[in-house]
Structure 1
Amino acid sequence: MAKLPKLNLLLKVLIGIVLGIGLGLIMPEVLVRVFVTFNSLFSNFLGFIIPLLIVGLITPAIDELGKGAGKWLAITAGIAYLSTILAGLLSWGTSMVVWPRLLAGTDVTELADPESGLAAPFFTIEMPAMFGVMSALVFAFTVGVALTAFDAPALHQVFSDFRQVINIVISKVIVPLLPLYIFGIFLNMTYAGQVVAVIGAFFKVVIVVFLLTVVYLILQYVVAGAIAKKNPFVMLRGMLPAYATALGTSSSAATIPVTLRSAIKIGISENIASFVIPLCATIHLAGSTIKITGFALAIMVMFGMETPPMLILGFIMMLGIAMIAAPGVPGGAIVTASGLLASTLGFTPEQVGLMVATYIAIDSIGTATNVTGDAAIAAIVDKLAGHPGHVDLGLHLPDGEPSQA
């Protein structure tokens, strides 16, 4: 009997999406709830493991960058913030040109609640994280930078070994289960009918915002390719597995393993990728900023609200900072931004609810842009750091694939 070819992760993700949408139309609720229960458990596990993943990858990566780690941390954060702000400015400029013409007379008052109709899990098991995402980042930065300042072989080895533990969890648990998790997400969304209801009211906005994310990704990779002296479109093609995975999970943090592997495959050094990718999964949310800015301005136009330039500019600048604190889980960015929508733009609770409804329904578009753009930043940092080639740090990639530059 001929051996069946092994499906790669990208194909598995695409199959999960297609099956989820197709079966969501016909599957009875009791079976939908089985997969929803699995998703609930897997999602809780991700919430538990993500802070540990950040510590396990970032701390030894900073350590191995050497005494210049503090400088590269500041450079990476600066590039990520600049990228996020530029994304917001692009969305703002486009919105002011397009929305008044495209949305004139649009009525959004009857938009359905995206939470309604979702199947519920049979049971849930709480898996509280040992510490939060921001605590993990602060811990990883503090310990990683400190380890570059003095010789502590035992402590170096502890974090190196802990990275191997995280790599095993990634390759043996998270990556193999991601396609099933993605299937469950699309199954439940299709069963509830929420995607059609929400996107139907904002179809024009969604199309324009999606095109903006594509344009911004191309701009990111053109700049990164020029700096790193690589073909930007070859780099983009190499990041398709990460983009597709993020479309399914709507979580930049959950996509870290795939983003990391794809970044290394397009020629980014392993030590730089292991440092930049987990870091940018939390602090670089350019796609989310495009969506939030575009949707917020669309709502302001629809409701006849004033859009003074200095108010919008201040909102984008603050949004770039707020995004740093956004957890890398589905819907984390809009939850973080809700306070700014009310306090800075003067949104009513109903308007904030409308923002949340639209954002959650197509959360994956912004997330996919976020994680794909992370590799562009990694390519720039890799070039600036003078690591144009492969550096073996003993990082074992998911699915047992050899690392390659």
Structure 2
Amino acid sequence: MSLTKKILIGMGLGILVGLILNGMPIYEPISAYILNPLGTIFINFIKMLVVPIVVISLILGTAGISDPKKLGRLTGKTIGYFLVTTSVALIIAISLATVFKPGIGDYSLEGAEFEGESAPPVVDTLLNIIPTNPLNAMVEGNMLQVIFFSILVGYALARLGDKTEGIKKLVEQANDVLMFLVGLAMKLAPYGAFGLIAVAIGGQGYDAILAMGKYFLLVLLALGIHLFVTYGTAVATLGKMNPITFIKKFSPAMVVAFSTSSSSATLPVSMDKAQKELNVPKSVSGFVQPLGATINMDGTAIMQGVATVFIAQLVGANLGVSEILIVVLTATLASIGTAGVPGVGIIMLSMVLTSVNLPVEAIALVLGVDRLLDMTRTAVNITGDAACAVVVSKSEEKHVTTHHDDTVSV
């Protein structure tokens, strides 16, 4: 049986067990002694590999781009793609919420309390990209600093050429070791998926889902449209790949993302699938996907768009064109400004609500169903990173072909 089938069976059994145990007295002991340990072992195994894989992949990826112009071009294309798809995600979310009006109904903010954490300003985030201690950045999991340092080391190896051939060989061998460990981790994936999903479903109250059903379904609809229409169109037109083939080959990584609710934790698997199944070169995958896992959050942007309109309708506030533009701009910039901050989705939402003078305490209403939505939007987030890698890879192929044709004609 293929690994994907095993993981899907694990997910299905997890959903079934979670539904059976939901609200039952035996849920707590079963969760504490069986389900949670299964999920924690798998997540810890994957997380153990995240920082080493980001460092090694980015060093290899950047070292493989010996031309500084190519590195600049790759960065421009990647960030440009992320900004465009995040804006599209927000437009889809706001449009659907405006049409279907999830906030019109019997809702009350009475007793709702939520204290939003403040995110660091974008300028501070950009200034703090340069680590004073790279090893400390790796220990703390400060991904922007780790990415910056790894790109610098890779660039140095590229510029020094044959002088550093020994180090390049060592990094390549380290990459082989890490990919082998990813393979081992994936053998645990069906059991981890079972435990994680059973806990997520079992610990979720039916009452919360039923009360917020319209909001919940609308976010899922927006995520589905963005996944199949936006990414499907990008992969088909710009990446020259069949979208169904793309999703089929990348689906194991999507399942892991759904189980773990963490783009960073899924990174080892998503990079492995992009390189082996989608044929994305290591230099592109190793550059695009770690950066995307840190700053590209289309799924989170969709949740913010729907939640903002939902809360506006709930309190009777009208969002005009200018307010909607502010929401799109704030949410897009916030995805970079809050990169690497724990609980990033809720922090970004509190920033967006504040920007259009909506009550932050209303976040307490959407938190009831956020765990299940978080799983889905994480799967969308990492799929967006892989789609970007496919698109950038194809555009780089064209550039190489054009450059080769020019050389021949000369």
Q: Same fold (TM over 0.5)?
A: yes
Of 4, 15, 33, which aligns to 1:21?
Answer: 15
Give, in whole Å, the separation in 2 of the partners of 1:108 and 1:239: 41
Mean CA deviation greater in 133-142 or 377-386: 133-142
Can you list the C-alpha shifts for 1:166-212, whole angstroms capped at 9, x where unaligned?
Answer: 2233222x322232222222222233233x33322222222222222
1:58 counterpart = 2:58: yes
Mean CA deviation greater in 334-343 or 51-60: 334-343
Give, in whole Å, the separation in 1 of the partners of 2:30 and 2:63: 47
Which position in structure 2 is the counterpart of 1:9? 3
| Equivalent pair of 2:62/2:155 in contact (CA under 8 Å) | yes
Can you list the C-alpha shifts for 1:263-303, whole angstroms capped at 9, x where unaligned?
Answer: 33134334322332232222221122112211221122112
Change (3 A) 1:42 1:71: same
Of 207, 222, 227, which aligns to 1:212?
Answer: 222
| Equivalent pair of 2:354/2:360 in contact (CA under 8 Å) | no
Q: Secondary structure at the match of 2:174?
A: helix
- Pairwise mapping of residues 67-146 of structure 1 onto structure 2 (< 5 A)? 67=67, 68-99=70-101, 102-109=102-109, 129-146=139-156
Q: Secondary structure at the match of 2:159?
A: coil
Q: Secondary structure at the match of 1:362?
A: helix
Deviation at residue 110 of structure 1 after TM alignment: 7.9
Can you list the C-alpha shifts for 1:49-101, whole angstroms capped at 9, x where unaligned?
Answer: 423321122221121122122321222122112211221122122222221xx
Give, in whole Å, the separation in 2 of the partners of 1:18 and 1:287: 23
Deviation at residue 133 of structure 1 after TM alignment: 1.7
Give, in whole Å, the separation in 1 of the partners of 2:224 and 2:352: 25
Of 251, 257, 262, which aligns to 1:251?
Answer: 262
- Pairwise mapping of residues 6-405 of structure 1 onto structure 2 (< 5 A)? 7-24=1-18, 25-26=20-21, 28-34=27-33, 35-40=35-40, 42-44=42-44, 46-67=46-67, 68-99=70-101, 102-109=102-109, 129-151=139-161, 152-172=164-184, 174-194=185-205, 196-217=206-227, 218-264=229-275, 265-324=277-336, 326=338, 332-386=343-397
Q: More helix per residue: 1 or 2?
A: 2
Change (3 A) 1:313 1:360: farther
Give, in whole Å, the separation in 2 of the partners of 1:135 and 1:335: 23
Change (3 A) 1:159 1:346: farther
Percent of matched pairs sharing the same residue: 24
| Equivalent pair of 2:62/2:71 in contact (CA under 8 Å) | yes
Deviation at residue 48 of structure 1 after TM alignment: 4.9
User: In the alignment, residue 55 of structure 2 is paired with which amino acid?
Assistant: V
| Equivalent pair of 1:284/1:374 in contact (CA under 8 Å) | yes
Mean CA deviation greater in 35-44 or 162-171: 35-44
> Superposition RMSD on alpha carbons, in Å?
3.0
| Equivalent pair of 1:92/1:294 in contact (CA under 8 Å) | yes
User: In the alignment, residue 283 of structure 2 is paired with which amino acid?
Assistant: N
User: In the alignment, residue 97 of structure 1 is paired with which amino acid?
Assistant: V
Which position in structure 2 is the counterpart of 1:116? none
Change (3 A) 1:383 1:216: same
| Equivalent pair of 1:62/1:141 in contact (CA under 8 Å) | yes
Change (3 A) 1:328 1:202: farther
Mean CA deviation greater in 180-189 or 253-262: 253-262
User: In the alignment, residue 279 of structure 1 is paired with which amino acid?
Assistant: L
User: In the alignment, residue 164 of structure 1 is paired with which amino acid?
Assistant: D
The alignment's TM-score, normalised by the length of structure 2, stands at 0.79
Mean CA deviation greater in 215-224 or 347-356: 347-356
Aligned residues between the structures: 364
Deviation at residue 386 of structure 1 after TM alignment: 1.0
| Equivalent pair of 2:42/2:189 in contact (CA under 8 Å) | no
The alignment's TM-score, normalised by the length of structure 1, stands at 0.79
Give, in whole Å, the separation in 2 of the partners of 1:108 and 1:15: 39
User: In the alignment, residue 201 of structure 1 is paired with which amino acid?
Assistant: A
Larger RCO, structure (CA 8 Å, separation 6 or more) = 2
| Equivalent pair of 2:255/2:379 in contact (CA under 8 Å) | yes
Q: Gaps spanning 5+ residues in structure 1: where?
A: 1-6, 114-127, 390-405
Deviation at residue 337 of structure 1 after TM alignment: 0.8
Change (3 A) 1:136 1:28: same
